[in-house]
Amino acid sequence: MRLVIVGAGFAGMYAALSAARLRDIEGVSPEELEIALVSPEPTLVIRPRLYEPKPESLTAPLQDVFDAVDVAYVQGSVEAVDTKACTVGVVNAKGERRSLQYHRLVLATGSRLFRPNIPGLAEYAFSVDNIDDAVALDRHLHELAKMPASAARDTIVVAGAGFTGIEAATEMPSRLRTLFDKTANPRVIIVDRSSAVAPDMGEGPRPIIEEALRKLGVETRLNAGVSSLDRSGVTLSTGEHIETMTVIWAAGIRANPLTTKIPGERDKFDRLLVDGCLRVPSVPGVFATGDAARAACDDCGNYALMSCQHATRMGAFAGNNAAAELLGVPARQYHQEAYVTCLDLGDAGALFTRGWDRKVEMVGEKAKTTKRGINTVWIYPPKPVRAAALASADPEHVTKL
């Protein structure tokens, strides 16, 4: 029997570990149940940190972890899924193609930045969506530091006032001060079509975020979208033109397009709708998890967000349940009632909230310390020690808040 997991992000990593854990508990050998994970690299990209400097360092190796728990790593990208033949089409780094049979499939392909068809966006916008984009932005900022000061050089426009946009924007003043000389006067502007910053976070945290932006000198252009970009800068829907050499696009994400290869119902973010055990109801033997799935967290109408907080726990449940079906043991109902947010606000500290109503629990340096713990310890893979790695993937304890 073979369980195939597609993706080595937070959801894919924990799906593999959790499946291996259940296999170990049931006393089944890796020969009897092969767990294969397909990904371009055996590496976890610490995506929540890509707004930080030195993004090339923000990865964690997974091969030793997989070896410790007898998970087979398959190098390549999945470009096709045949749910009738129960195969995935894999192309490796050399361009060689192969078909991989599965008895259960876990789609943990994550999400990617949504780039609408705006003139100049593809040519002139940067992002912190993936490691290549983040490295390109970091190199661009270093190149700016070699240029003479000007309004265009010293102005950064961040398109998107959500979580990613706020973290990128609030990190930028200190980042630019480090790179530019003391005569520079960096200017950071957030642009968003909404009437308020952090539109999805509610009224409670917003005054704290607004005060942080004021403290850092970050400007906003609300009720305004990006109409076009060119070499001279960005033009907004209001008609305002901002001279800049740097536009960071952070205006929304969508599930990886591989979800469209599965004949199942999807939401507006292209996430596959799944049942309580994270199965795709319309396709036997297929599970979706993490950012690829729209899953209910509880019985109160709350659904998992596209975040590593939900992806890790969803991955653990999906991997466990896919293995459970093959091993003939009961599956577990996914649930994740607890929910927190921890928003980095650069030199203004951070903001920590608890609950779906986002009640503020910590602000400033105390919240910043918690954010550092999350970003540098809690979200990293377990050590490549078999017992510890397997124990880390108990679905009931992953992301227990």
The 10s digit of each residue's pLDDT in 132-146 is 999 999 999 999 999
pLDDT at 141: 98
pLDDT at 228: 98
In order of 36, 46, 104, 386, 387, the CA distances from 72 in angstroms are 5, 22, 15, 14, 18
In what helix (H) or strand (E) does residue 3 lie, and over which residues does it extend?
strand 2-6
pLDDT at 2: 98
Q: Are residues 276 and 210 in the same domain?
A: no
pLDDT digits (tens, 9 = 90+) for 304-348: 999 999 999 999 999 999 999 999 999 999 999 999 999 999 999
Residue 260, pLDDT above cutoff 80: yes
Measured CA to CA, the distance from residue 149 to residue 3 in angstroms comes to 56
In the listed set 249, 277, 292, which residue is the last one of a domain according to the structure? 249
Q: Are residues 245 and 257 in the same domain?
A: no
Q: Are residues 128 and 240 in the same domain?
A: yes
Tell me whether residue 310 is in a domain.
yes
Q: Are strands 87-91 and 77-82 parallel, antiparallel or unpaired?
A: antiparallel
Torsion angle of alpha carbons 185, 191, 194, 199, nearest 10°?
Answer: -60
Q: Are residues 86 and 38 in the same domain?
A: yes
Tell me whether residue 270 is in a domain.
yes
Bridge partners, 303 (sequence order): 296
In what helix (H) or strand (E) does residue 294 lie, and over which residues does it extend?
strand 293-294
Q: Are residues 227 and 180 in the same domain?
A: yes
- Name the residue range of residue 329's domain: 2-113+253-336
Q: Are residues 136 and 244 in the same domain?
A: yes
Residue 401, pLDDT above cutoff 70: no
Tell me whether residue 96 is in a domain.
yes
In what helix (H) or strand (E) does residue 74 lie, and over which residues does it extend?
strand 72-75
Q: Which amino acid is present at 253? A: I
Share of the chain above pLDDT 70, in %: 100
Q: Are residues 38 and 108 in the same domain?
A: yes
Residue 80, pLDDT above cutoff 80: yes
Tell me whether residue 109 is in a domain.
yes
Share of the chain above pLDDT 90, in %: 97
Return the closest-CA partner of residue 290 out of 264, 262, 316, 260: 316
CATH number at residue 55: 3.50.50.60
Q: Are residues 184 and 82 in the same domain?
A: no
pLDDT at 185: 86
In order of 9, 21, 56, 138, 337, the CA distances from 309 in angstroms are 12, 20, 22, 26, 12
pLDDT digits (tens, 9 = 90+) for 270-308: 999 999 999 999 999 999 999 999 999 999 999 999 999
Residue 160, pLDDT above cutoff 90: yes
Helix (H, G, I), strand (E, B), or coil: what is residue 109? coil
The count of domains in the chain is: 2
Tell me whether residue 70 is in a domain.
yes
- Per residue, the 3-state secondary structure of 352-398, as one string, reads EEECCCCEEEEEHHHHHHHHHHHHHHHCCCCCCCHHHHHHCCCCCCC
The residue-averaged pLDDT of 240-247 equals: 98
Token pair belonging to 296: 């209910």
pLDDT digits (tens, 9 = 90+) for 90-117: 999 999 999 999 999 999 999 999 999 9
Q: How confident is the model at residue 183 (pLDDT cuts 50, 70, 90)?
A: confident
Measured CA to CA, the distance from residue 200 to residue 218 in angstroms comes to 20
Q: Are residues 93 and 37 in the same domain?
A: yes
The per-residue pLDDT of the chain, averaged, comes to 96
Q: Are residues 73 and 35 in the same domain?
A: yes
Q: How confident is the model at residue 379 (pLDDT cuts 50, 70, 90)?
A: very high
The residue-averaged pLDDT of 20-25 equals: 98
In order of 9, 65, 140, 146, 232, the CA distances from 195 in angstroms are 33, 46, 31, 37, 27
Q: E-strand spans in 102-225? A: 104-107, 111-113, 125-126, 155-159, 187-192, 219-222
342 CB burial (10 A radius; 0-12, 13-18, 19+):
buried
In the listed set 300, 316, 336, which residue is the last one of a domain according to the structure? 336
Torsion angle of alpha carbons 244, 235, 194, 223, nearest 10°?
Answer: 120
Tell me whether residue 390 is in a domain.
no
The residue-averaged pLDDT of 224-229 equals: 98
Tell me whether residue 358 is in a domain.
no
pLDDT at 36: 99
pLDDT at 314: 98
pLDDT digits (tens, 9 = 90+) for 32-77: 999 999 999 999 999 999 999 999 999 999 999 999 999 999 999 9
In the listed set 336, 361, 381, which residue is the last one of a domain according to the structure? 336
pLDDT at 259: 97
pLDDT at 399: 82
The residue-averaged pLDDT of 366-393 equals: 96
Tell me whether residue 324 is in a domain.
yes
Q: Are residues 99 and 134 in the same domain?
A: no
Q: Which residue has the tokens 């909404």?
A: 194
Q: How confident is the model at residue 7 (pLDDT cuts 50, 70, 90)?
A: very high
Q: Are residues 144 and 263 in the same domain?
A: no
